Chains A and B, each alone.
Chain A
Amino acid sequence: MTQVALLGADLPGLRPKLLCAQGDRVGRGLALFHDRANPEVVFVSPVSGVVDTITLGPRRSLSALVIRLEPDQHEPDPTSVATSPDEIRETLLAKGFWPAFLTRPYGRIPAPDAVPEAIFVNVTPDNPHAPDPRVVLRDQGDAFPAGLKAIAHLTSGTVHVCQTPGTDLAAGCGDRIRGSFFPESQASGLSGTHIHRLHPVDQNRSVWSIGYQDVAAIGKLIETGIHDFSRIAALAGPRARQPRLIRTIAGANLQELIREETLPGNHGSPLCVVSGSLTNGRQASWLGRYHQQITLLDDVAPQSRISKGGLMGLFRRTSSQPAPLIPTAALEWALAFGVPVVPFLRALSVGDAETASRLGCLEMVEEDVAAVSMACSSGADYGRMLRHVLDELAEDA
């Protein structure tokens, strides 16, 4: 592993104020940039090394900040253990663990002074190939319960630990930390489903969600003062030579990671590397900050694209406009929030934020509509449309 990146794709709508420049030497835990709107929300370097490149995206957002690893000169001293709620909040903000939280509605990083009505810890795998959380947490020791107790200080409500049926991972952590069990089903691994069942949100009620690996890392930080940005990810997909769990870092360079891990494709087709699962992921060269899976599959070779010219080309021309939306029974089953599907998708397709909000889009983020995008005949990316609508609603809120 020689390179790690912080990606703008993980931080939609964020405008960074850079605190470092290309070529700077950075230690693990050093602040690289902060949110221009909320300067206390700091993003730190997960490794020691040198800032390789900084690429900005449209409207001065971040595209990618790449760090080249260098062997540690010295590890930063472990800081003292935080105990009080304010100290915990400050520590999380300063040490770069605040972005682990995402608000619901809107799916954004919370404001530094926000207090949610509840916090949802997602300890469910979101698809059959994702890492099994119980396996991952087995050798983390006390870090997970410590993390739960720490984040319980951030809210006055409950911390829901949403897990698959089995031993309660939240047992004995306190009466405000409750375990909830979700048997495996199509959407059981998504925080949206948990929140819809236990604490539905709208414009006036908001909760936060966080993944279990981040909670364990927070626990480790609070207990020992060591910041650990490592992550267990599952290597999966039809072209993975040895599907298994690997230990890596969020933002790791996927090309390096999978160098020895791929099977040759049939007919020599190139490799498509997806960060995340097939339904929820994106084709990328870096592991996303919220992703726990790397999927390897066949890509379409560019030469095999049929010529677009002539009359027959009219049949095969793919327009940039989505295909017609044909209401089918499969579509009705694909969205789990009690929302009438076709009116909702139509509202998203034209960007009608008001109707989408009335129908309940505030309960969802992109991953919740990924299944609908796969089931819908139109081939439209409703996740992108939802993000657009949510951004519009967030600005008006």
Chain B
Amino acid sequence: MSSPNSSVVRDPAKSFQDMILCLHDFWSAKGCLVLQPYDMRMGAGTFHPATTLRALGPEPWNAAFVQPCRRPTDGRYGENPNRLQHYYQYQVILKPSPPQIQEWYLDSLKVIGIDPLKHDIRFVEDDWESPTLGAWGLGWEVWCDGMEVTQFTYFQQMGGFDCKPVAGELTYGLERLAMYIQGVDNVYDLAFNTQGVSYGDVFLENERQMSTWNFEVADTDALFDLFRKASAECRLCLEKGLPIPAYEQAIEASHVFNLLQARGVISVQERASYMAQVRDLARGSCEAYMAKYSVQWAAAYPEWVA
């Protein structure tokens, strides 16, 4: 594939940001909206409403975006070369899933400098399930020389609803890919740009402080309170027929739960109950979203049934 912006000289092997820009160019040329990250804390790109909510309903939807992900329990105070409590995922969502989705994906790897005749690319069974989102799909983890670089999923259900039609979701682990492409063993050594700024310059101190806060400082009473308030707010929104703000509160509750986990204040027994609460909020939001648009969708897509 020729780059649509061939006048711009971009070498994905030289920097983290160039790699992202290459992916943007590529997926933009494939007809994807290039969205910006959602301005909330979340554990995975799949939580972005552009994925979760847009996976519902019959309307075509093609989007690509970077989503910062926060996984408080994965924090290692900046001392582990592979693990971070804050990192980036590159998300592509294609609905309905196009027949050439695998080929496009492989082309995107070539664009960022991975030649499948030099590197061993494999699609290894990995079914995806998110109990919190009431979602599941079948697909693969894509291996590059034994390293998982992408999660590739055909969504079958979201929020407990069958996906009609099915969306294909690609989630690239950006730091991993960049480390691979740049030949770097420590994430903090990654070149963020080509002017000498490293990933560590940008994020090392962030990782140290956030790890300390996540594990040691965060006020757990305040967090429990936040969880309750987000749940209540979500329910209020659902009563008022506002699925999008309701879903935002579900995202909030989910992240606060993750923080409580990192603080080690949720017992094994309680854990299941908290997860069920988050799931109910997310499902409720999806249900409300479906309810709000079903009539309109059914009118526009006669072959679609709620």
Physical interaction between A and B: no
**A residues apposed to B, CB below 8 Å:** none
**B residues apposed to A, CB below 8 Å:** none
